[in-house]
């Protein structure tokens, strides 16, 4: 069993435990997110599933499936550019609080990270001192990954 299948298996188990069902179509979409290994818009995901699995999805059904995956904590939506990523913690079986993301602006590779609650409350305080209220603790940081860094002459 390959790594993606293992994660899908685990995801199926998570859904069963929660009384929901990871249908074949939902599996396909989740596998697309895991396999692409980067943030994808719904339309990029449709293309990916079509070229990799020969499955055709309508935008409507992909959005519905993504919504399901989000609710089950199996995928996350990035507010920047309205893209989606598979949760990095499906396999470890623990739940997590609001995730934070490092996003490569060159290749759209995404790493899900966790910022300590202390650091977040610090940021909240700083924002509030400046007269702003933090509306989401989900931070999405624009980065350059190490694969893309050598091509950046200024780094
Ligand atoms: Zn996650
Ligand atoms: Zn984990
Ligand atoms: Zn990159």
Q: What is the pLDDT of residues 17-38, one digit of tens each?
A: 999 999 999 999 999 999 988 8
Residue with tokens 């993301």: 101
Counting ligands in written order, which one lies closest to the CA of residue 88? 1
Neighbours of 94 (CB within 10 A): 6
Nearest ligand to the C-alpha atom of residue 102: 3
CA 138–ligand 3 middle distance (angstroms): 21
Note the pLDDT tens digit of each residue in 110-148: 999 988 889 989 999 999 999 999 888 899 999 999 999
CB hemisphere CA count around 96 (13 angstroms): 23
| Global pTM value | 0.86
* Residues 6 or more apart in contact with residue 155 via CB below 8 angstroms: 144, 149
List residues, by chain if needed, whose CB lies under 5 Å from ion ligand 3: 104, 106-107, 109, 145, 148
Ligand 2 geometric centre to CA of 66 (Å):
21
Domains of the chain: 1-91 (1.10.10.10), 97-155 (3.30.1490.190)
């Amino acid at each position: 069993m390959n790594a993606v299948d293992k994660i899908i298996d685990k995801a199926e188990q998570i859904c069963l435990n929660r009384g929901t069902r990871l249908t074949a179509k939902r599996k396909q979409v989740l596998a697309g997110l895991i396999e692409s290994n980067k943030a994808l818009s719904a339309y990029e995901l449709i293309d990916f599933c079509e070229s990799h699995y020969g499955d055709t999805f309508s935008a409507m059904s992909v959005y519905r499936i993504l919504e399901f995956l989000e609710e089950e904590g199996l995928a996350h939506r990035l507010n920047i550019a309205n893209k989606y990523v598979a949760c990095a913690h499906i396999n470890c079986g623990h739940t997590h609080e609001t995730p934070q993301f490092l996003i490569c602006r060159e290749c759209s590779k995404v790493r899900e990270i966790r910022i300590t609650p202390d650091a977040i409350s610090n940021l909240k305080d700083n924002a509030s001192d400046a007269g702003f209220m933090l509306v989401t603790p989900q931070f999405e940081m624009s980065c350059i990954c190490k694969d893309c860094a050598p091509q950046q002459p200024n780094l």
